[in-house]
């Protein structure tokens, strides 16, 4: 019999409470390879906690979580080698250059590569050549995001987690970032993007899910050339945001 390939991101019936407050309530979510899933919801809906569970930072009270077939709370080291994580505020080193940051972050993850591979990833990410050997102290948020996504490209892991990746980016930088995400997806990566940016999600996502009260309350897949009904999505997002 052929070997079963695990789903890169798999969450089934997950409950999680902090005291009397239920944060995740029978949460179910799957993201396949070559898929960009945008998770939208109001403040306190459970978006960040979902990422925390996948990263192994938070242990659910009940349910099943797997990243590429592994349990994040039991096999945390194995799981983190399979995940690239881009937080809202990217933690990079101000006193190091872009190349030095990439080289150091790859070394921390147990990987090393050549300068030519690093600058090739910067080119793919749209980081201008003049910035490669500059210290990051003067970088804009968009430039920092490009350094971080270049590192994710170089790692070639099966799962990419993004926390508000377009927050603070101008429309051009957002479009550049989304084009790069498509490149990462087409390489075979499963991408889960937590965001408030409905327009960016519409541009890039294969599926959009709305989370409220710790569970997915609606989910829509892109359809044909039109992809999504923007008015219907906006109404759903406004409704769930108001509920939060």
Residue 176 confidence class, pLDDT cut points 50, 70, 90: confident
List own/partner pairs for 127-133 with CB under 8 A and 24 or more apart: 127/98, 131/98, 132/97, 132/98, 132/99, 133/97, 133/98, 133/99
CB contact at 8 A, 14 and 26: yes
- Cα separations in angstroms, 147 against 180, 197, 200: 12, 21, 20
CB contact at 8 A, 217 and 210: yes
Residue 183 confidence class, pLDDT cut points 50, 70, 90: confident
Higher pLDDT, 132 or 178: 132
Residue 151 confidence class, pLDDT cut points 50, 70, 90: confident
- Domain positions in the chain are 1-82+158-244, 92-156
Strands 83-86 and 9-18 turn out to be unpaired
Fold of 1-82+158-244: Rossmann fold (3.40.50)
Closest CA to 205 of 173, 239, 165, 178: 178
Total length of the chain: 244
CB contact at 8 A, 39 and 49: no
Q: 3-7, 49-53, 207-211: which range is least confident on average?
A: 3-7
Q: 125-134, 152-161, 165-174, 175-184: which range is least confident on average?
A: 165-174
Interval 73-105: pLDDT, tens: 999 889 988 998 888 877 789 999 999 999 998
Alpha-carbon gap, residue 239 to 237, rounded angstroms: 5
What average pLDDT does range 200-225 have in this prediction? 90
pLDDT at 60 > cutoff 60? yes
């Amino acid at each position: 019999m052929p070997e079963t390939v695990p789903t890169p991101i798999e969450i089934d019936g997950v409950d999680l409470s902090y005291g009397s407050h239920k944060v995740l309530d029978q949460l179910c979510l799957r993201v396949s390879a070559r898929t960009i899933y945008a998770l939208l919801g109001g403040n306190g809906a459970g978006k960040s906690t979902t990422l925390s569970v996948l990263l192994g930072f938070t242990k659910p009270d009940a349910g099943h979580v797997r990243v590429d077939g592994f349990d994040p709370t039991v096999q945390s080291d194995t799981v983190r080698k399979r995940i690239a994580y881009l937080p809202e505020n990217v933690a990079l080193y101000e006193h190091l250059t872009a190349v030095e940051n990439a080289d150091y972050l790859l070394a921390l993850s147990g990987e090393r590569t050549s300068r030519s591979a690093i600058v090739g990833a910067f080119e793919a990410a749209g980081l201008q050549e003049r910035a490669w050997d500059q210290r990051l102290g003067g970088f804009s948020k968009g430039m920092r995001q490009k350094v971080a996504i270049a590192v994710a490209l170089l790692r070639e892991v099966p799962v990419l987690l993004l926390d508000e990746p377009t927050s603070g980016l101008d429309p051009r930088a957002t479009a550049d970032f989304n084009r790069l995400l498509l490149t990462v997806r087409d390489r075979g990566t499963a991408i889960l993007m937590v965001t408030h940016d409905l327009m960016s999600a519409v541009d890039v996502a294969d599926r959009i899910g709305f989370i409220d009260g710790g569970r997915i309350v609606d989910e829509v897949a892109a359809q044909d050339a039109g992809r999504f009904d923007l008015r219907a999505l906006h109404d759903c997002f406004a409704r769930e945001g108001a509920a939060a």
